[in-house]
């Protein structure tokens, strides 16, 4: 019972944060571009803008194209959303504060986040639109290419920590901000790049390339179905940012004064680290132009894949001998 | 001046505004000669003269190396066809399509002579002088005519 | 990283209908693409969605009435549109133009060239980067500067986009007091910002990757298709009507014609960036050398038939931001033209699109189309 209550609270908090990530991104981008960003809804900083967006999307007409494959068309958005939400299960926010501490936590994370690509692919196929179809092809190719360096780089901390459990990995990073050997930092950079690509974010947003493919796999979706795609995208960003801080930045560990309950400080530390990762993602996103699909795939297979493989191998040797 | 040279070589007449007049039957011969010195096709256009039932078709070419422009003009009857300049200048493709669209002059050996700015089912050629300009346009009924057409 | 990924040839080709409502077709272009996977087998542009019959209008209304309509043609650089027709009519009717008016014309042509190229740079990067990404940043930066230039237009003529500055025989408005200070402020800012943008983009490996070697247009093809302006110069042809056939006392100004080498998207980008710098130079010279005197040789009369031309034919062309903008007038002595042909630069530049797009990837469409910089008011007329 306790677990269920906790997971409900956990998800609600996570989704609220996801909502406010959209607000934060808009403000962040606006500052880069000498704009103000959301302003009027919830003056003076547009605090209520995400809520207004949700209400707007809920009230919108739900359009299903006449020739779309209706069942699959309707299944796809929840599938993506569930995939994004399930990843939070294995992410501990403080010592002992997690929904489930699976023995295969990291593998579980990537397994369920791969569910998202099924949703994207189904959405692209079922929309009966050529833009969506092309985008689904691209998304498939991209995720297949970038999942491998992503997982290989995530395996480096796993090897060094000696466990697939997320809590174990955090515990292994005795000193805050993880003093991994150099392999850890190489893996971190690869994780960052591959994570951005996983995200379908600029500069790797080829499946979403709205200047080429309009709006890609979600071009035919409207209303809440679109909102599900949108929310799951940001939820996945959050999940990845949290995972990155758990794997590489020491998770919820940090310096804290011994005042108040310990878990509060741990949550704050995790929040700060994840927030830092998030800002890194956003900064890259708002300052680059898009890479072409063929260069994108080549980059993964010719550069990221070998480096991450060698890196993992060296990390394993280091682990055995030192 | 290459223009004077061409004028003498092809024995072209000159109008008072400096347009060289050639016969449409000599089209290929003239174009071949022009292409040598004037590799840049600037524009092709036409003027309609309803009283004479004739068109003036005007070609303008440029010489890039020595800044120079040459205007050629040919007169054709309304029902006459003109050879296409596409063989010599690829840019003639769209320019001739535009003339075909707006004047109804047909070009022989054009690779793809379709209307370009007006819809394919448009009636008449608007830049002709006998095109009625005060007529109210017909209301388009999408139930009678298909809105979309499938290409190829 | 040099060669492209070899995507095995699928048996079926997809026909993709890109546009006319599409975020990156710069207006209302429709391209019928035949795709083999991501590769373009053939592309057929379909234009005419913005056809307003401007040439027919030019035959039915008088010269005086027609002039403001031209602002709507190539709406990104309205002054150059007017300048073309004004020059044609003046040449046909032998109307003298005072030197001060000629300088003001040059000044505002170059200002609108700056504004137009800023819009081009912004939209080009927007196409490359996407509406939710780095491209938007450049887009908004460019529009910030453009707005300052449009403010000058507004102060001078009362209108930002459609100034209707030209008049047969001169210009309608004299410079307002304190304009040189305003303009100089913008020029100083622009010089700084152009360098900033170029640095930002040229040093970006992703941008170079997207533009270098993409959409190569050889010299000969560019000439055959009648491409002009930055598209022609990007292919390495040193041809600028301002130098080749100087009009409106452009021969008194000192500026250079930038040319590209390979004729790819990147070269066209470089040419336009350099052109902006040259425009700044010209505007500076025009401001410093602005002669005293009347701004028009004809008093502004509020009569529709104030201008008549003798029978005859004339063609004048000017260098608009997009290329050779020419007006052919066939007159029969009436206050309106018997036939008025607008030689639109965008039309010819766009006609090379099927040639350029062949064998490129879908992602390159936006880069190539953006580098041609068509304005659909100008293409469709």
The residues spanned by each domain of chain A are 63-321
Q: How far is B152 from chain C (nearest CA, A)?
A: 9
Domain span at residue B12 reads: 2-144
From the CA atom positions of chain B, what is the Rg in Å?
18
Following CA atoms C106, C112, C114, C119 in sequence, which dihedral angle do they give, to the nearest 10 degrees?
-160
Residue B65 lies in a domain: yes
Write the CB contacts of B127 (distance below 8 Å, at least 6 apart in sequence). B46, B48, B102, B103, C55, C56, C59, C339
Residue of chain C nearest A202, judged by CA positions? C133
- Average pLDDT on B22-42 reads 83
Token couple for C275: 């052109």
Q: CA geometry: angle at C209 spanning C207 and C214, to 5°?
A: 105
Tell how far CA A302 is from the center of its chain. Answer: 24
Task: Express each pLDDT in A229-270 by its tens digit.
Answer: 888 888 888 888 888 888 887 777 777 777 777 777 788 888
Q: Which residues of C touch B116 (CB under 8 A)?
A: 47-48
Residue C9 lies in a domain: no
From the CA atom positions of chain A, what is the Rg in Å?
20
Token couple for A180: 């991994």
Q: Residue C303's pLDDT is what?
A: 64
Q: Residue C1's pLDDT is what?
A: 42
- Helix, coil or strand: residue B62: strand
- Average pLDDT on A206-228 reads 76
CATH number, domain of B87, equals 3.30.460.80
Using a CB cutoff of 8 Å and minimum separation of 24, what contacts does A236-239 make? Answer: A236/A84, A236/A87, A236/A113, A236/A116, A236/A198, A236/A199, A237/A21, A237/A199, A237/A201, A237/A278, A237/A281, A238/A14, A238/A17, A238/A18, A238/A21, A238/A274, A238/A278, A239/A84, A239/A87, A239/A88, A239/A91, A239/A109, A239/A113
Residue C357 lies in a domain: no
Q: Residue B152's pLDDT is what?
A: 47
Q: Residue B82's pLDDT is what?
A: 85
Cis check: omega of the bond before A44, within 30 degrees of 0? yes
Domain total of chain C: 1
- Give the residue with greater pLDDT, A149 vs B140: A149
Task: Choose among C119, C105, C63: nearest CA to C334.
Answer: C63
**What is d(CA B74, CA B81) in angstroms, rounded to the nearest whole number?**
12
For residue A148, the tally of other CB atoms under 10 A from its CB is 17
Which DSSP helix (H) or strand (E) runs through A232?
Answer: helix A223-248
**What is d(CA C351, CA C337) in angstroms, rounded to the nearest whole number?**
27
With an 8 Å Cβ cutoff, the interface of chain C facing chain B consists of 15, 32, 44, 47-48, 51, 53, 55-56, 59-60, 220-221, 223-227, 237, 239, 243-245, 312-315, 317, 324, 326, 328, 330, 338-339, 341, 343, 347-348, 351-352, 355, 380-381
Token couple for C67: 């002039």
Q: Does chain A touch chain C (at least 3 C-beta pairs within 8 Å)? A: yes
Task: Express each pLDDT in A44-94 by its tens digit.
Answer: 888 888 888 888 888 888 888 887 888 888 888 888 888 888 888 888 877
**What is d(CA C131, CA A290) in angstroms, rounded to the nearest whole number?**
11
- Average pLDDT on A31-52 reads 84
Give the mutation candidate from C36, C122, C129, C365 for the A interface (greatest A CB count, under 10 A): C129
pLDDT tier for residue B34 given thresholds of 50, 70 and 90: confident
Residue C332 lies in a domain: yes
CB contact under 8 A, A214 and C132: no
Q: Residue C253's pLDDT is what?
A: 87
Q: Which residues of B touch C227 (CB under 8 A)?
A: 91
Q: Residue C26's pLDDT is what?
A: 75
Domain span at residue C273 reads: 54-352+366-380
For residue C46, the tally of other CB atoms under 10 A from its CB is 18
Q: Is the confidence at residue A169, as pLDDT, over 50?
A: yes
**What is d(CA A44, CA A40) in angstroms, rounded to the nearest whole number?**
7
CATH number, domain of C114, equals 1.10.645.10
Task: Express each pLDDT in C331-369 by its tens digit.
Answer: 888 888 888 888 888 888 888 888 888 888 887 888 888
Q: What is the 3-state secondary structure (H, E, C) of C52-67?
A: CCHHHHHHHCCHHHHH
Residue B119 lies in a domain: yes
Q: Is the dihedral of CA C163, C167, C172, C178 positive or negative?
A: positive
Q: Is the confidence at residue B126, as pLDDT, over 80?
A: yes
Residue B152 lies in a domain: no
**What is d(CA B121, CA B114) in angstroms, rounded to the nearest whole number?**
11
- Average pLDDT, whole number, for chain A? 81
Q: Is the confidence at residue B4, as pLDDT, over 80?
A: no
Token couple for B19: 């347009």
The answer to whether C48 and B118 have CB atoms below 8 angstroms apart is yes
- Average pLDDT on A33-50 reads 83
Q: Are strands C39-46 and C30-36 parallel, antiparallel or unpaired?
A: antiparallel
Token couple for A194: 């591959």
Q: Concatenated DSSP letters for C285-353?
A: HHHHT---S-SBSS-----TT-----SEEEEEEEEETTEEEEEEEEE-SSSS-SEEEEE-HHHHHHTTH
With an 8 Å Cβ cutoff, the interface of chain B facing chain C consists of 15-17, 19, 39-43, 45, 47-48, 56, 58, 60, 64, 67, 69, 71, 89-91, 93-95, 98, 102, 115-119, 126-127, 131, 133, 151-152
Task: Choose among B142, B145, B115, B110: nearest CA to B127.
Answer: B115
Q: How far is C204 from chain B (nearest CA, A)?
A: 35
Domain total of chain B: 1
Residue C285 lies in a domain: yes
Residues of chain C with pLDDT under 50: 1-2
Q: Residue C163's pLDDT is what?
A: 86
**What is d(CA C68, CA A97) in angstroms, rounded to the nearest whole number?**
71
Token couple for C344: 């639109």
pLDDT tier for residue B140 given thresholds of 50, 70 and 90: low
Q: Does the pTM exceed 0.90?
A: no
Q: Which of A133, A202, A294 sits opposite C132 (nearest CB)?
A: A202
Given a contact as 3+ CB pairs under 8 Å, which chains touch B?
Answer: C
Q: What is the DSSP letter of B26?
A: G
Residue C5 lies in a domain: no
CB contact under 8 A, B117 and C47: yes
CB contact under 8 A, B64 and C48: no
Residue C20 lies in a domain: no
CB contact under 8 A, B126 and C56: yes
Token couple for C92: 């046909």
Task: Express each pLDDT in A106-128 by its tens digit.
Answer: 888 888 888 888 888 888 888 88
Q: Which residues of A touch C16 (CB under 8 A)?
A: 130-131, 134
Residue of chain B nearest C245, judged by CA positions? B67
């Amino acid at each position: 019972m306790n677990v269920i209550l906790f997971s409900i609270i956990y998800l609600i908090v996570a989704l609220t944060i996801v909502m406010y990530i959209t607000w934060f991104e808009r403000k962040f981008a606006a500052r880069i571009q000498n704009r103000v960003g959301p302003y009027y809804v919830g003056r003076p900083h547009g605090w209520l803008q995400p809520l207004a967006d949700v209400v707007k999307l809920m009230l919108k007409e739900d359009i299903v194209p006449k020739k779309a494959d209706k069942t699959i068309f309707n299944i796809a958005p929840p599938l993506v959303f569930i995939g994004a939400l399930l990843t939070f299960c294995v992410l501990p926010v403080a010592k002992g504060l997690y929904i489930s501490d699976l023995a295969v936590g990291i593998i579980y994370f990537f397994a369920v986040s791969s569910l998202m690509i099924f949703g994207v692919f189904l959405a692209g196929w079922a929309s009966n639109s050529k833009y969506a179809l092309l985008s689904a092809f691209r998304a498939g190719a991209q995720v297949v290419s970038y999942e491998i360096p992503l997982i290989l780089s995530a395996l480096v901390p796993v090897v060094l920590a000696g466990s697939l459990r997320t809590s174990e990995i955090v515990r292994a990073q005795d000193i805050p901000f993880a003093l991994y050997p150099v392999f850890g930092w190489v893996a971190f950079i690869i994780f960052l790049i591959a994570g951005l690509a996983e995200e379908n974010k600029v500069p790797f947003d080829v499946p979403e390339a709205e200047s080429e493919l309009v709006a890609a796999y979600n071009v035919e979706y409207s209303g809440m179905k679109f909102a599900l795609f949108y929310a799951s995208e940001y939820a996945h960003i959050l999940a990845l940012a949290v995972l990155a801080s758990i794997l590489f930045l020491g998770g919820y560990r940090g310096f804290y004064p011994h005042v108040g309950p310990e878990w509060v400080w741990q949550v704050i530390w995790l929040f700060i680290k994840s927030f830092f990762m998030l800002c890194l993602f956003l900064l890259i996103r708002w300052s680059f132009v898009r890479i072409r699909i063929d260069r994108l795939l080549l980059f993964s297979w010719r550069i990221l894949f070998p480096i991450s493989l060698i890196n993992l191998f060296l990390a394993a040797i280091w682990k055995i001998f030192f | 001046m290459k223009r004077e040279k061409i004028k003498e070589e092809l024995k072209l007449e000159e109008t008072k505004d400096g347009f060289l007049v050639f016969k449409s039957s000599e089209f290929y011969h003239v174009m071949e000669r022009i292409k040598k010195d004037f590799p840049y096709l600037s524009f092709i256009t036409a003027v309609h003269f309803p009283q004479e039932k004739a068109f003036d078709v005007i070609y303008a070419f440029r010489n890039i190396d020595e800044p120079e422009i040459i205007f050629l003009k040919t007169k054709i009857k309304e029902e006459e066809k003109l050879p296409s300049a596409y063989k010599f200048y690829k840019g003639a493709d769209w320019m001739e399509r535009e003339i075909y669209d707006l004047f109804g002059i047909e070009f022989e050996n054009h690779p793809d002579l379709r209307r370009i700015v007006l819809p394919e089912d448009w009636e008449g050629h608007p830049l002709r002088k006998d095109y009625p300009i005060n007529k109210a346009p017909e209301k388009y009924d999408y139930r009678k005519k298909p809105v979309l057409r499938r290409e190829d | 990283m040099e060669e492209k990924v070899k995507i095995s040839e699928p048996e079926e080709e997809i026909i993709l209908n890109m546009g006319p409502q599409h975020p990156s077709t710069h207006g209302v272009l429709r391209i019928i693409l035949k795709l083999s996977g991501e590769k373009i087998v053939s592309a057929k542009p379909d234009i005419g969605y913005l056809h307003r019959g401007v040439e027919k209008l030019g035959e039915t209304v008088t010269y005086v009435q027609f002039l403001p309509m031209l602002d709507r043609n190539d709406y990104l650089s309205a002054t150059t549109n007017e300048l073309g027709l004004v020059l044609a009519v003046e040449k046909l009717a032998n109307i003298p133009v005072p030197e001060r008016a000629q300088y003001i014309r040059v000044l505002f042509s170059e200002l609108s060239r700056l504004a137009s190229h800023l819009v081009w740079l912004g939209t080009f990067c927007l196409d490359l980067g996407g509406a939710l990404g780095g491209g938007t940043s450049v887009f908004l930066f460019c529009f910030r500067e453009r707005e300052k230039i449009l403010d000058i237009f507004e102060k001078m003529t009362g209108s930002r986009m459609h100034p209707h500055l030209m008049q047969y025989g001169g210009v309608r408005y004299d410079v307002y007091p304190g304009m040189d200070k305003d303009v100089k402020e913008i020029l100083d800012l622009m010089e700084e910002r152009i360098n900033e943008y170029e640095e930002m983009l040229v040093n970006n490996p992703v941008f170079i990757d997207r533009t270098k070697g993409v959409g190569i247009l050889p010299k000969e093809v560019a000439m055959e298709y009648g491409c002009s302006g930055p598209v022609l110069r990007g292919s390495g042809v040193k041809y600028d009507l301002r130098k080749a056939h100087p009009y409106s006392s452009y021969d008194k100004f000192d500026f250079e014609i930038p040319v590209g080498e390979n004729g790819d998207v990147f070269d066209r980008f470089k040419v336009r960036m350099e052109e902006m710098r040259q425009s700044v130079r010209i505007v500076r010279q025009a401001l410093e050398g602005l002669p005293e005197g009347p701004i028009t040789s004809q008093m502004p009369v509020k009569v529709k038939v104030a201008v008549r031309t003798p029978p005859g034919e004339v063609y004048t062309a000017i260098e608009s931001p997009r290329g050779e903008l020419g007006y052919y007038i066939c007159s029969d002595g009436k206050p309106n033209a018997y036939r008025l042909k607008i030689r639109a630069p965008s039309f010819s530049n766009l006609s090379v699109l099927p040639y350029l797009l062949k064998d490129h990837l879908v992602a390159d469409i936006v880069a190539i189309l953006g580098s041609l910089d068509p304005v659909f008011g100008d293409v469709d007329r």
